């Protein structure tokens, strides 16, 4: 008899209430993985706000903690520490998993003159699940050189007692700098578009630097199972990696039941508006 055979759409209709139940339960208890607003930045999973999580556990990725501080002006500012260095977080885009950050030493959010900023450290992402975003490019500053190679740009305001400061692209081979006896090399990044738009990079590199660069995040292997079971990763000081499940429970690696649907409403301040 064929009356038992329904078109596929009938089955989907039957599944509809189930769909909603799953979607609702997928909203992880916000008291476990809360979100905050800090100035222009929404801090939510996988980021977490320092000082608000309990001292023994947090919900978010290790190394993704954001410090919210008052810069004495209208807005609170967000800071992240990468490889021991502070960066000002300008915006986080949870849709494409990217953020715009600027080195504290050159950031306009931090008081002090930025006319001829000196970058003091490399960008160190270490083992964090972070990559430079596609719209960013690396730059390499070479300080205290005997001269600048022809492929590099001299930065006169950073010259020091007759020793030159040169700007390369960081794609050159190390040997290409041999013979210029530079004292130090520092690799940083800027947004490609801003660099291209600059009419005199030699002079206004500071304003390009202060606009920051983009980072994209992925997830760590140990977090994969947890997130795929609709949980959120965290860490506990004694047990280490933990998984916050949508039913409010906390498990070690993954949550019971595998939900493939995750609908989370993101409130975000578009990073792209800063890019144009």
Site of interaction with ligand NAG (CB under 6 A) = 29-31, 34, 39-40, 62, 68, 70, 75-77, 90, 109, 121-123, 125, 129-132, 138, 143-144, 160, 163, 170, 183-187, 189, 216-218, 235, 237, 240, 248
The minimum distance between CB 261 and ligand NAG, in angstroms, equals 17
Residue number, 144 or 229, with CB nearest to ligand NAG: 144
Angstrom CA distances, 30 to 27, 52, 118, 188, 244, stand at 8, 13, 42, 36, 11
Tell me whether residue 98 or residue 201 sits nearer to ligand NAG (CB atom): 98
Query: 38 or 201: whose CB is closer to ligand NAG?
Result: 38
As given in the structure block, the two tokens for residue 164 are: 């030159």
Tell me how far, at minimum, the Cβ of 16 lies from ligand NAG, in Å. 22
Which secondary structure element, helix H or strand E, spans residue 259, and what is its range?
Answer: none
- The sign of the torsion formed by the CA atoms of 169, 172, 174, 175 equals negative
Shortest Å distance, C-beta 10 to ligand NAG: 32
Give me the least distance between CB of 238 and ligand NAG, in Å please: 6
Q: What angle is formed at CA 270 by the lines to CA 265 and CA 273, rounded to 5 degrees?
A: 160
Q: Which is nearer to ligand NAG, 132 or 203 (CB)?
A: 132
Taking the complex as a whole, the smallest distance from the CB of residue 63 to ligand NAG amounts, in Å, to: 7
- Per-residue burial over 5-21, b if 16 or more Cβ lie within 10 Å, else e, is eeeeeeeeeeeeeeeee
Q: Which is nearer to ligand NAG, 187 or 203 (CB)?
A: 187
Q: Is 98 helix (H, G, I), strand (E, B) or coil?
A: strand
The residue (of 82 and 201) whose beta carbon lies closer to ligand NAG is: 82
Please say which residue, 9 or 171, places its beta carbon nearer to ligand NAG.
171
Alpha helices in 137-241 (DSSP H): 192-197, 201-210, 221-228
Closest separation in Å from C-beta 139 to ligand NAG = 9
Q: How far apart are CA 254 and CA 230, in angstroms?
A: 8
In the complex, minimum distance from the CB of residue 17 to ligand NAG, in angstroms, rounded to a whole number: 18
- Using alpha carbons, list the distances in angstroms from residue 210 to 109, 188, 207, 260: 9, 11, 5, 40
């Amino acid at each position: 008899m064929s009356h038992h055979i329904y078109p596929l759409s009938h089955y989907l209709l039957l599944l509809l209430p189930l769909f909603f139940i799953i979607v609702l339960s997928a909203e992880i208890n916000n008291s476990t993985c809360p979100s905050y607003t800090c100035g222009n930045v929404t801090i939510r999973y996988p980021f977490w706000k320092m000082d608000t999580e309990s001292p023994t556990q947090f919900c978010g990725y290790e190394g993704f903690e954001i410090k919210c501080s008052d810069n004495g002006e209208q807005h609170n500012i967000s800071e992240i520490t990468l490889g021991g260095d502070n960066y000002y977080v300008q915006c986080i885009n949870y849709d494409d998993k990217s953020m715009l950050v600027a080195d504290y030493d050159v950031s306009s959010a931090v008081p002090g003159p930025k006319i001829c900023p000196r970058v003091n450290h490399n960008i160190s992402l270490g083992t964090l699940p972070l990559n430079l975003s596609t719209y960013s490019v690396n730059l390499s500053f070479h300080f205290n050189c005997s001269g600048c190679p022809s492929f590099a740009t001299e930065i006169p305001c950073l010259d020091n007692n007759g020793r030159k400061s040169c700007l390369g692209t960081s794609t050159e081979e190390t040997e290409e700098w041999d013979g210029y006896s530079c004292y130090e090399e520092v690799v940083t990044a800027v947004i490609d578009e801003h660099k291209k738009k600059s009419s005199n990079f030699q002079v206004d590199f500071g304003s390009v630097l202060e606009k920051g660069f983009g980072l994209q995040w992925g997830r760590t292997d140990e977090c994969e199972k947890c997130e795929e079971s609709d949980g959120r990763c965290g860490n506990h000081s004694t047990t280490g990696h933990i998984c916050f499940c949508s039913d409010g429970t906390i498990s070690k690696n993954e949550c019971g039941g595998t939900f493939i649907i995750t609908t989370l409403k993101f409130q975000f301040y578009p990073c792209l508006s800063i890019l144009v």
